[in-house]
Each structure stands twice: as C-alpha cells, then as structure tokens.
Amino acid sequence: VSWAEVVLPLSDVGQVWVALFIAYICFTQMAVLNVLTGVFCQNAIDSAQHDQDLVTQSILAQKKMYVKQIAAIFAEIDVDGSGTITIHEFRKHLQDESVQAIFDSLGLDASDVWTLFKLLDIDNDTVIELDEFVAGCLRLKGNAKGLDMAK
C-alpha cells in the first residue's frame, strides 16, 4: 500500500487530519523502535550479569586449583611428614631447579630462600604449617598490589 493512497482520502476531509495521521504514524514507529531497543538492552544487561557470574566462578575454580597445587608442594617439601616445614627442609628443596620452576610457575619468586621463608612463616615460630604456607603463597602470588604497597 502506498502512503499516498492512504493520505489522499484524508486530505479531502482536511489537512489537520493528514497532520494527525503523520504524527500518529511517527509516534507509533518511535514506540515500536523504543520497545525493540529496550528488549535488546535488557538482553545485553542480562548477558553481562551472566558473564560476571562466570568470571566469578572461574576465579574461584582457579584459586581452588592453586591451593591444591600449593598443598602438593607442601607435602613434597615436608619429607618427614611432621605437618610442618623447617628452614632446612625448605632450603634443601628450593635448591632443586624443578621446585624453583614450580614456584615460578605459581608466580612466586623463590630466589631468596630465607626472605621467602620469613614471609611465609606468619606466626614467626620458625616452622611453616600447611595453613601458613597456603595463606602466604596466596598473599605473595603475582605482582604487588596497592594493599601490599600500603603495608
């Protein structure tokens, strides 16, 4: 249908009716486009929220895997099975290049054994327990953060 065919009978009634018809068509078209835009925006917002949930789940899964790796390293270093690591056990295992490579892969600098041991020994009792080892490695992992710099 041509718009001229629709508007022509209205022009016989009066130009005011033609103007109202054009205003009606414009308003209706804008309303439909506004609804479609709203639907697309809502879908985008829902997708972004879902993506945030996926990112959170991924971070938690990576942290869990990281903690398992740290616990395995602890078990490897704790050769006497006492549940603690002494400076001697720590130094002995960090002389091994494969253990240093594992620390490097976890984002931990193991070049200075004594400093690393002191940083991991949270309660300063000269032995590192599993909880201290895990918490210390999590704290020291990666680059320094603003909170670390403030300390």
Query: Predicted confidence band at 119 (pLDDT cuts at 50, 70, 90)?
Result: confident
pTM greater than the 0.85 cutoff: no
| Gap between the Cα atoms of 143 and 35, Å rounded | 47
* CA distances to 74, 78, 126, 141 from 89, in Å: 10, 7, 12, 21
Given a cut of 80, whether residue 146 has pLDDT beyond it is no
Tell me the three state secondary structure of residue 122. Answer: coil
Count the alpha carbons within 13 Å of 120 in the hemisphere toward its beta carbon.
27
Query: Predicted confidence band at 145 (pLDDT cuts at 50, 70, 90)?
Result: low
CA dihedral (77, 80, 84, 90) positive or negative = negative
Cβ atoms of 91 and 107 within 8 Å: the answer is no
| Gap between the Cα atoms of 60 and 117, Å rounded | 26
In this predicted model, what pLDDT tens digit does every residue of 23-81 receive, in sequence order? Answer: 999 999 999 999 999 999 999 888 877 777 788 888 899 999 989 988 988 898 888 88
Q: For residue 141, what pLDDT is reported? A: 77
Compute how many other C-beta atoms are within 10 angstroms of the C-beta atom of residue 99.
Answer: 17
Q: Contacts from 74-82 at CB under 8 Å and sequence distance 24+?
A: 74/130, 74/133, 74/134
Give the CA angle between residues 129, 135, 140 to the nearest 5°. 120
In this predicted model, what pLDDT tens digit does every residue of 131-142 receive, in sequence order? Answer: 998 988 888 876
In this predicted model, what pLDDT tens digit does every residue of 77-104 receive, in sequence order? Answer: 888 888 999 998 888 888 888 888 888 8
Given a cut of 90, whether residue 125 has pLDDT beyond it is no
